[in-house]
Amino acid sequence: MLFNSFHFVVFFVVVLALNQSLRPWPVAQKLTLLAASYYFYGQWNWLYLLLILFSTVTDYAIGLGLVKARRPRTLLIISLAVNLGVLFFFKYANWVIANWNAVDTLLGSDLSVAPLDLLLPVGISFYTFQSMSYTIDVYRGDSPPRRNFLDYSLFIAFFPQLVAGPIVRDGEFFTELDRERRVDYTTVRHALVLIMLGYVKKIVVADNLALVVDPIFDATTVQGFWDTLLAIYAFAFQIYCDFSGYTDIAIGCALLLGFRFPKNFNYPYVAESIQEFWRRWHMTLSRWLRDYLYISLGGNRKGSGRTQVNLMLTMLLGGIWHGASWNFVIWGGLHGAYLAVERSIQKRFPGWNSDRKIMRAFRVATTFHLVCFAWIFFRADNLAAAGRILSSLATVTSADFQVDRHLGLALLLAMLASLQFIGHAGFKRRIAESEGPLFVGALTASILAMIWLTPAASAPFIYFQF
């Protein structure tokens, strides 16, 4: 069930009404939310609800056992092996088989393996990481085990963030679940602004930019320089508006149900460094990788050389987490290399960190273009497609620029870039806190924009594939 569908709107209105009417009966309220979450996920494939139930039962039991076991480390290893094993089987098994067969063909042997007939479960990467964080936190003593199975089941399956995040920590979720979740007028205003602007980002901006991006990245031949360059910039804003739009809708829906979730985006294209970019982009995944992988590897505590290795390993895992493709490995590796080189530059050239406006603007521009270059590998379907994009960038000619075709798109992208700085200044919060024409006008403008500017076909959210 897609957020940008009439089915979801009707579904959510019904769930919201039931949630409010059942406030005097907390257990019934939780059961309703859990049933709604399973219904929501089951609309893709009811069979894969068994995977969520399996993960839920396994880590719930292990969480209880961790505080009693003589060797809790063994239980933790079992939890990690089960979660990562399921994730590997469904997401990476066919990729490994394909690479094995490629090597087999290259060597001329006869050891090829038939691919498995698997359908990737939607959102498996998200709820697997969320479940793993719980057992790790209990093992470390950072969180007590949750003894109520209904509560834990809802933590894993809660529908607003089940498919594409944000990745919520157990402490954050259970704090919200345990408090009196009253939804006042202020909360409703904030939620409505998030939801409406989220839909505008997705339907009006991202889906229209897809009409520019897809023909270039999906082409089987080399394209013109300006078409390609603008498509790369367009994809940078498409994926931002698509994913942050989903997150805004998810957080807004959760707010209306009484749950406050952590922010997942904070205008990443104003970042002055790659490190800052990852503090603003997919923030809940970034902190997951930091807290459960980077720090576990030693972080920056074992010298500069080991720190750079840890950064590279962390970002490689972050790339592979996104998908079973060498493109994602390269994308993660590029960001790991960016972080390692950036750390060295900051240490060796103090002037790089100058607060002068021109230097800050240069850092923002540099960071943005490094991120855009990496997006080529993220968006391209395979290495051959990425190669065609890079080849297209090498074919620049003055006659390739067509004013009627390229200038309007360039101005639109410049406007989207400027909105990053306007939004960073707190514009969204001011709309939500306004009780006058600004609030009503923003919601009205959002509705009109969706009526007038929605393309004929709306694409699924990009991060649903992960």
Token pair, residue 40, equals 């929501």
Give the CA radius of gyration of the chain: 23
Rounded Cα distance between 342 and 298, Å, is 19
Q: What percent of the chain has pLDDT over 70?
A: 98
Does residue 369 have an active-site annotation?
no
**pLDDT of 398 above 70:** no
The answer to whether the beta carbons of residues 251 and 261 sit under 8 Å apart is yes
Q: What sign has the CA pseudo-torsion 134, 139, 143, 147?
A: positive
* CA distance between the termini of the chain: 15
CA count, 13 A, side-chain hemisphere, 28: 8
Alpha-carbon distances, residue 296 vs 49, 239, 314, 371, 390 (angstroms): 32, 30, 10, 26, 36
Residues 271-309 have pLDDT tens digits of 999 999 999 999 999 999 999 988 888 877 777 778 888
Query: CB neighbours of 25 closer than 8 A, spacing ≥ 6?
Result: none
Q: How confident is the model at residue 425 (pLDDT cuts 50, 70, 90)?
A: low
Alpha-carbon distances, residue 216 vs 105, 121, 328, 367 (angstroms): 31, 28, 19, 24
Query: Which residue in 182, 173, 179, 180 sits closest to 146, CA to CA?
Result: 173
**pLDDT of 235 above 70:** yes
* Catalytic-role residue among 322, 335, 369, 424: 322
Query: Which residue in 465, 462, 399 sits closest to 210, CA to CA?
Result: 462
Rounded Cα distance between 162 and 41, Å, is 8
Q: Got the DSSP string for 127-177?
A: HHHHHHHHHHHHHHTSSPPP--HHHHHHHHH-HHHHTT-----HHHHHHHH
Residues 37-54 have pLDDT tens digits of 999 999 888 888 999 999
Residues 151-210 have pLDDT tens digits of 999 999 999 988 887 999 999 999 999 988 888 888 888 899 999 999 999 999 999 999
